[in-house]
Protein backbone atom coordinates (compact mmCIF):
# COMPACT_ATOMS: atom_id res chain seq x y z
CA UNK A 1 0.00 0.00 0.00
CA UNK A 2 1.34 3.42 -0.95
CA UNK A 3 1.37 6.38 1.40
CA UNK A 4 -1.15 8.21 -0.70
CA UNK A 5 -3.68 5.39 -0.60
CA UNK A 6 -3.42 5.03 3.17
CA UNK A 7 -3.84 8.83 3.39
CA UNK A 8 -6.97 8.62 1.24
CA UNK A 9 -8.35 5.89 3.47
CA UNK A 10 -7.67 7.87 6.61
CA UNK A 11 -9.38 10.95 5.19
CA UNK A 12 -12.40 8.87 4.15
CA UNK A 13 -12.53 7.23 7.59
CA UNK A 14 -12.47 10.63 9.22
CA UNK A 15 -15.29 11.84 6.93
CA UNK A 16 -17.31 8.71 7.77
CA UNK A 17 -16.78 9.37 11.47
CA UNK A 18 -18.16 12.92 11.11
CA UNK A 19 -21.21 11.53 9.28
CA UNK A 20 -21.75 8.83 11.91
CA UNK A 21 -21.58 11.42 14.67
CA UNK A 22 -24.01 13.80 12.95
CA UNK A 23 -26.52 11.10 11.98
CA UNK A 24 -26.21 8.63 14.81
CA UNK A 25 -25.90 5.95 12.11
CA UNK A 26 -22.83 3.75 12.45
CA UNK A 27 -23.31 1.83 9.21
CA UNK A 28 -24.95 3.07 6.03
CA UNK A 29 -26.03 0.50 3.45
CA UNK A 30 -26.52 2.35 0.17
CA UNK A 31 -24.70 5.36 -1.26
CA UNK A 32 -26.16 7.77 -3.80
CA UNK A 33 -24.10 10.38 -5.59
CA UNK A 34 -26.14 13.08 -7.23
CA UNK A 35 -25.48 14.41 -10.70
CA UNK A 36 -26.44 17.89 -11.78
CA UNK A 37 -30.21 18.20 -12.04
CA UNK A 38 -30.76 15.19 -9.77
CA UNK A 39 -31.04 17.08 -6.47
CA UNK A 40 -34.81 17.57 -6.82
CA UNK A 41 -35.61 13.87 -6.89
CA UNK A 42 -34.22 12.97 -3.48
CA UNK A 43 -36.88 14.58 -1.34
CA UNK A 44 -39.21 12.13 0.38
CA UNK A 45 -37.08 9.04 -0.15
CA UNK A 46 -37.30 8.46 3.59
CA UNK A 47 -36.65 10.08 6.94
CA UNK A 48 -33.73 12.51 6.93
CA UNK A 49 -31.59 11.83 10.00
CA UNK A 50 -28.90 14.38 9.20
CA UNK A 51 -28.29 16.98 6.54
CA UNK A 52 -24.69 18.07 6.71
CA UNK A 53 -22.92 20.87 4.90
CA UNK A 54 -20.15 19.07 3.03
CA UNK A 55 -17.70 21.78 4.08
CA UNK A 56 -18.02 20.39 7.62
CA UNK A 57 -16.98 16.92 6.48
CA UNK A 58 -13.24 16.24 6.10
CA UNK A 59 -11.93 16.01 2.53
CA UNK A 60 -14.91 17.51 0.69
CA UNK A 61 -13.97 20.54 -1.37
CA UNK A 62 -16.21 23.49 -2.03
CA UNK A 63 -18.01 22.83 -5.33
CA UNK A 64 -17.26 25.26 -8.15
CA UNK A 65 -20.54 24.80 -10.02
CA UNK A 66 -24.04 25.74 -8.90
CA UNK A 67 -26.56 22.92 -9.04
CA UNK A 68 -24.35 20.68 -6.93
CA UNK A 69 -26.00 21.05 -3.58
CA UNK A 70 -22.96 20.58 -1.38
CA UNK A 71 -24.96 18.59 1.18
CA UNK A 72 -24.40 15.13 2.59
CA UNK A 73 -27.58 13.56 3.86
CA UNK A 74 -28.31 10.47 5.90
CA UNK A 75 -31.75 9.00 5.22
CA UNK A 76 -33.56 6.08 6.83
CA UNK A 77 -35.59 4.28 4.16
CA UNK A 78 -38.95 2.62 4.80
CA UNK A 79 -37.11 -0.71 4.57
CA UNK A 80 -35.00 0.28 7.57
CA UNK A 81 -31.86 0.55 5.44
CA UNK A 82 -29.69 3.62 5.68
CA UNK A 83 -29.01 5.70 2.59
CA UNK A 84 -26.09 8.11 2.37
CA UNK A 85 -26.67 10.83 -0.21
CA UNK A 86 -23.51 12.50 -1.44
CA UNK A 87 -24.59 15.82 -2.94
CA UNK A 88 -21.07 17.15 -3.13
CA UNK A 89 -19.16 15.87 -6.11
CA UNK A 90 -15.70 17.04 -7.10
CA UNK A 91 -14.93 16.81 -10.81
CA UNK A 92 -11.55 16.18 -12.36
CA UNK A 93 -11.91 19.43 -14.31
CA UNK A 94 -11.71 21.37 -11.06
CA UNK A 95 -8.00 20.67 -11.17
CA UNK A 96 -7.41 18.92 -7.83
CA UNK A 97 -6.55 15.55 -9.35
CA UNK A 98 -8.40 12.24 -8.99
CA UNK A 99 -8.30 11.85 -5.17
CA UNK A 100 -10.92 14.49 -4.31
CA UNK A 101 -12.99 12.98 -7.17
CA UNK A 102 -12.94 9.58 -5.46
CA UNK A 103 -13.45 10.94 -1.93
CA UNK A 104 -17.27 10.69 -1.99
CA UNK A 105 -17.18 7.02 -2.93
CA UNK A 106 -14.40 6.31 -0.44
CA UNK A 107 -16.34 8.06 2.31
CA UNK A 108 -19.45 6.05 1.47
CA UNK A 109 -17.43 2.83 1.65
CA UNK A 110 -15.90 3.90 4.97
CA UNK A 111 -19.45 4.63 6.20
CA UNK A 112 -20.36 1.00 5.52
CA UNK A 113 -21.94 1.32 2.08
CA UNK A 114 -21.83 -1.77 -0.14
CA UNK A 115 -24.05 -0.58 -3.01
CA UNK A 116 -23.23 2.69 -4.72
CA UNK A 117 -25.68 4.46 -7.02
CA UNK A 118 -23.90 6.99 -9.22
CA UNK A 119 -26.02 9.44 -11.18
CA UNK A 120 -24.98 12.07 -13.68
CA UNK A 121 -26.10 14.28 -16.52
CA UNK A 122 -24.62 13.66 -19.93
CA UNK A 123 -24.55 14.50 -23.60
CA UNK A 124 -25.87 11.86 -25.97
CA UNK A 125 -23.85 10.65 -28.95
CA UNK A 126 -27.01 8.96 -30.27
CA UNK A 127 -29.50 11.27 -31.91
CA UNK A 128 -32.44 9.07 -30.87
CA UNK A 129 -31.63 9.64 -27.20
CA UNK A 130 -33.07 13.11 -26.84
CA UNK A 131 -32.68 15.39 -23.83
CA UNK A 132 -34.71 13.95 -20.98
CA UNK A 133 -33.80 10.33 -21.74
CA UNK A 134 -32.65 8.35 -18.69
CA UNK A 135 -29.97 5.77 -19.57
CA UNK A 136 -28.61 2.90 -17.51
CA UNK A 137 -24.82 2.82 -17.69
CA UNK A 138 -23.68 -0.60 -18.91
CA UNK A 139 -19.98 0.15 -19.16
CA UNK A 140 -17.61 3.07 -19.44
CA UNK A 141 -14.60 4.33 -21.34
CA UNK A 142 -12.21 6.35 -19.21
CA UNK A 143 -10.80 9.02 -21.53
CA UNK A 144 -9.29 11.10 -18.74
CA UNK A 145 -5.84 9.49 -18.98
CA UNK A 146 -5.79 9.19 -15.21
CA UNK A 147 -7.03 6.94 -12.41
CA UNK A 148 -7.89 7.29 -8.72
CA UNK A 149 -5.71 4.22 -8.11
CA UNK A 150 -1.94 4.15 -7.71
CA UNK A 151 0.49 1.32 -7.42
CA UNK A 152 -0.16 -2.34 -8.05
CA UNK A 153 -3.93 -2.34 -7.75
CA UNK A 154 -5.05 -4.47 -10.70
CA UNK A 155 -8.80 -4.15 -10.31
CA UNK A 156 -11.15 -6.29 -12.43
CA UNK A 157 -13.39 -3.97 -14.45
CA UNK A 158 -15.12 -6.62 -16.59
CA UNK A 159 -18.50 -6.03 -14.91
CA UNK A 160 -17.89 -2.67 -13.28
CA UNK A 161 -21.60 -1.80 -13.46
CA UNK A 162 -23.33 -4.63 -11.62
CA UNK A 163 -25.34 -6.95 -13.87
CA UNK A 164 -27.64 -7.75 -10.98
CA UNK A 165 -28.40 -4.09 -10.31
CA UNK A 166 -28.99 -3.45 -14.02
CA UNK A 167 -31.40 -6.40 -14.12
CA UNK A 168 -33.22 -4.95 -11.12
CA UNK A 169 -33.50 -1.54 -12.84
CA UNK A 170 -34.85 -3.23 -15.96
CA UNK A 171 -37.43 -5.18 -13.96
CA UNK A 172 -38.70 -1.84 -12.71
CA UNK A 173 -38.40 0.06 -16.02
CA UNK A 174 -38.05 -2.43 -18.92
CA UNK A 175 -37.82 0.35 -21.51
CA UNK A 176 -34.79 1.95 -19.91
CA UNK A 177 -32.06 2.14 -22.56
CA UNK A 178 -28.58 0.96 -21.67
CA UNK A 179 -25.37 2.53 -22.91
CA UNK A 180 -21.65 3.12 -22.62
CA UNK A 181 -20.50 6.31 -20.90
CA UNK A 182 -17.27 8.00 -21.93
CA UNK A 183 -15.68 10.30 -19.38
CA UNK A 184 -13.74 13.26 -20.74
CA UNK A 185 -11.77 15.51 -18.40
CA UNK A 186 -13.51 18.75 -19.42
CA UNK A 187 -14.34 21.41 -18.44
CA UNK A 188 -14.74 22.29 -22.11
CA UNK A 189 -17.34 20.29 -23.99
CA UNK A 190 -16.17 18.11 -26.87
CA UNK A 191 -15.66 19.12 -30.44
CA UNK A 192 -17.86 17.29 -32.97
CA UNK A 193 -14.76 15.29 -33.99
CA UNK A 194 -14.20 14.20 -30.38
CA UNK A 195 -17.83 13.09 -30.08
CA UNK A 196 -17.49 11.10 -33.33
CA UNK A 197 -14.30 9.56 -31.93
CA UNK A 198 -16.07 8.55 -28.72
CA UNK A 199 -18.93 7.04 -30.73
CA UNK A 200 -16.52 5.09 -32.95
CA UNK A 201 -14.85 3.77 -29.79
CA UNK A 202 -18.23 2.50 -28.58
CA UNK A 203 -19.55 5.33 -26.42
CA UNK A 204 -23.22 6.34 -26.37
CA UNK A 205 -22.91 9.10 -23.77
CA UNK A 206 -20.27 11.69 -22.98
CA UNK A 207 -19.74 13.30 -19.62
CA UNK A 208 -17.24 14.55 -17.06
CA UNK A 209 -17.78 12.30 -14.03
CA UNK A 210 -18.63 8.77 -12.88
CA UNK A 211 -15.96 6.63 -14.60
CA UNK A 212 -13.25 7.57 -12.09
CA UNK A 213 -15.73 7.16 -9.23
CA UNK A 214 -16.70 3.72 -10.50
CA UNK A 215 -13.03 2.71 -10.61
CA UNK A 216 -12.60 3.83 -6.99
CA UNK A 217 -15.83 2.04 -6.02
CA UNK A 218 -14.77 -1.24 -7.63
CA UNK A 219 -11.38 -1.06 -5.91
CA UNK A 220 -13.31 -0.98 -2.61
CA UNK A 221 -15.59 -3.85 -3.65
CA UNK A 222 -18.76 -1.77 -3.99
CA UNK A 223 -21.56 -2.80 -6.36
CA UNK A 224 -22.23 0.08 -8.73
CA UNK A 225 -25.46 1.17 -10.38
CA UNK A 226 -24.94 4.03 -12.85
CA UNK A 227 -27.80 6.11 -14.19
CA UNK A 228 -27.35 9.00 -16.58
CA UNK A 229 -29.85 11.64 -17.57
CA UNK A 230 -29.27 12.89 -21.10
CA UNK A 231 -29.63 16.66 -21.00
CA UNK A 232 -28.23 17.49 -24.43
CA UNK A 233 -27.23 15.93 -27.69
CA UNK A 234 -23.42 15.95 -27.77
CA UNK A 235 -21.64 18.39 -30.05
CA UNK A 236 -22.31 17.77 -33.72
CA UNK A 237 -24.95 15.08 -33.14
CA UNK A 238 -27.80 17.39 -34.09
CA UNK A 239 -27.58 20.08 -36.75
CA UNK A 240 -29.85 22.27 -34.65
CA UNK A 241 -28.26 24.44 -31.99
CA UNK A 242 -29.46 23.58 -28.52
CA UNK A 243 -31.88 25.84 -26.68
CA UNK A 244 -31.06 25.89 -22.98
CA UNK A 245 -34.76 26.22 -22.08
CA UNK A 246 -35.52 23.01 -23.99
CA UNK A 247 -32.76 21.18 -22.15
CA UNK A 248 -34.03 22.32 -18.75
CA UNK A 249 -37.62 21.45 -19.70
CA UNK A 250 -36.62 17.98 -20.92
CA UNK A 251 -34.72 17.34 -17.70
CA UNK A 252 -37.66 18.46 -15.59
CA UNK A 253 -40.05 16.29 -17.60
CA UNK A 254 -37.87 13.24 -16.93
CA UNK A 255 -37.76 13.72 -13.16
CA UNK A 256 -40.90 11.69 -12.30
CA UNK A 257 -39.57 8.67 -14.23
CA UNK A 258 -36.16 8.97 -12.54
CA UNK A 259 -37.72 9.42 -9.12
CA UNK A 260 -39.96 6.38 -9.61
CA UNK A 261 -36.99 4.29 -10.76
CA UNK A 262 -34.82 5.36 -7.84
CA UNK A 263 -37.58 4.83 -5.29
CA UNK A 264 -38.34 1.33 -6.62
CA UNK A 265 -34.65 0.36 -6.73
CA UNK A 266 -34.17 1.55 -3.15
CA UNK A 267 -37.23 -0.41 -1.98
CA UNK A 268 -35.73 -3.59 -3.36
CA UNK A 269 -32.13 -3.33 -2.22
I1 LIG B 1 -25.03 17.76 -18.94
O2 LIG B 1 -22.12 17.10 -24.00
C3 LIG B 1 -23.45 17.32 -20.02
N4 LIG B 1 -22.29 16.96 -19.49
N5 LIG B 1 -18.33 15.93 -21.71
N6 LIG B 1 -20.25 16.53 -22.88
C7 LIG B 1 -19.60 16.31 -21.69
N8 LIG B 1 -20.19 16.42 -20.52
C9 LIG B 1 -21.48 16.78 -20.51
C10 LIG B 1 -22.20 17.03 -21.69
C11 LIG B 1 -21.55 16.90 -22.93
N12 LIG B 1 -23.44 17.37 -21.34
In the prediction, which pLDDT does 62 show? Answer: 80
**Structural domain boundaries in the chain:** 3-268
CB atoms within 10 A of CB 154: 8
CA of 232 to the centre of ligand 1 (A): 7
pLDDT in tens, 154-172: 999 999 999 999 999 999 9
CA of 146 to the centre of ligand 1 (A): 19
Mean pLDDT along residues 222-243: 90
Mean pLDDT along residues 241-265: 85
**Can you say how many angstroms the Cα of residue 83 is from the centroid of all Cα atoms in its chain?**
15
Which CATH code for domain 3-268?
3.40.50.1580
In short, whether 206's Cβ falls inside 6 Å of ligand 1 is yes
Q: What percent of the chain has pLDDT over 70?
A: 97
pLDDT in tens, 104-151: 999 999 999 999 999 999 999 999 999 999 999 999 999 999 999 998
The residue with greater pLDDT, 37 or 98, is 98
In the prediction, which pLDDT does 198 show? Answer: 98
With contact defined as beta carbons under 8 Å apart, do 242 and 232 qualify? yes
With contact defined as beta carbons under 8 Å apart, do 131 and 251 qualify? yes
In short, whether 120's Cβ falls inside 6 Å of ligand 1 is no
Instruction: Clarify whether 190 is annotated catalytic.
Output: yes
In the prediction, which pLDDT does 69 show? Answer: 56
Any residues with CB less than 8 A from the CB of 12 and at least 6 apart, and which?
Answer: 59, 103, 106, 107, 109, 110
In the prediction, which pLDDT does 65 show? Answer: 66
Candidate list 163, 171, 190, 240, residue with the active-site label: 190
In short, whether 224's Cβ falls inside 6 Å of ligand 1 is no
In the prediction, which pLDDT does 41 show? Answer: 81
Q: What is the DSSP string of 94-108?
A: GSS-HHHHHHHHHHH
pLDDT in tens, 172-186: 999 999 999 999 999
Q: Are strands 115-124 and 223-233 parallel, antiparallel or unpaired?
A: parallel
pTM for the full predicted model? 0.95
Separation CA 222–CA 160 (nearest Å): 9
Please name the residue whose Cα sits nearest to atom 3 of ligand 1: 122
In the prediction, which pLDDT does 66 show? Answer: 61
Query: Which ligand 1 atom is nearest residue 247's CA?
Result: 1
pLDDT at 243 over 80: no
In the prediction, which pLDDT does 37 show? Answer: 78
User: Closest by alpha carbon to 251, among 126, 136, 169, 133?
Assistant: 133
Please name the residue whose Cα sits nearest to atom 11 of ligand 1: 123
pLDDT in tens, 23-82: 999 999 999 999 887 887 877 889 999 999 999 999 999 877 665 558 999 999 999 999
In the prediction, which pLDDT does 215 show? Answer: 98
CA of 138 to the centre of ligand 1 (A): 18
Amino acid sequence: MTNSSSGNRRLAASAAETIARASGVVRHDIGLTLGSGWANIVSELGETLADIDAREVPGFLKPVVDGHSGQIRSVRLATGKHLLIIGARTHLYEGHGPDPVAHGVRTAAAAGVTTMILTNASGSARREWKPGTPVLIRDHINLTATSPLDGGEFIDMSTAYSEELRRLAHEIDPELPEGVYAQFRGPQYETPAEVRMAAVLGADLVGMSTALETIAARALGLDVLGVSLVTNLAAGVSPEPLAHADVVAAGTAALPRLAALLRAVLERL
